[in-house]
Amino acid sequence: MRILVVCLGNICRSPLAEVALRQEIAAAGMTDDVSVDSAGTGDWNVGKPPNDRMRRAAAAVGLALEGTARQIAQDDLAHSDLILVMDEANLRDVRALAPDDATRAKVHLFLDYAGQGPLEVPDPYYGEDEGFDEVVAVVRPAARAIVERLAASTAA
């Protein structure tokens, strides 16, 4: 299974969710079965590393953010089995890129797919440092719930 996590610029929320999901996938012994990548809907951060404030917030809980930002591409839509987006704007943007209903059906809000209802992961970029810690506190348990859901569906 291939999972793609998407936010606006691919420097805060989606890299965090990517690493959190990878950690939970490894803990569940599913690394051979599930891969995770991330992208942004916008192109202005392409090639940039994850945001320093998000890196610090993630590092405080043992998550190391690496890589560089990239923009979502049509290949991502075709090759991903599950696309998890951070907010309603991402949901609209990614579904608008989808070529058909089957592809649009693969796109879900991250927290909704985690069983938390149609909630958004807040964008901390323009806020204070505490906002980054709050996003980490939201994303980590949601990543665990998503992997538990995937494990249950493959066991069934």
Catalytic residues: 7, 13, 123
- Two tokens, residue 101: 């209903």
Three-state DSSP string of 12-80: CHHHHHHHHHHHHHHHCCCCCCCEEEEEECCCCCCCCCCCHHHHHHHHCCCCCCCCCCCECCHHHHHHC
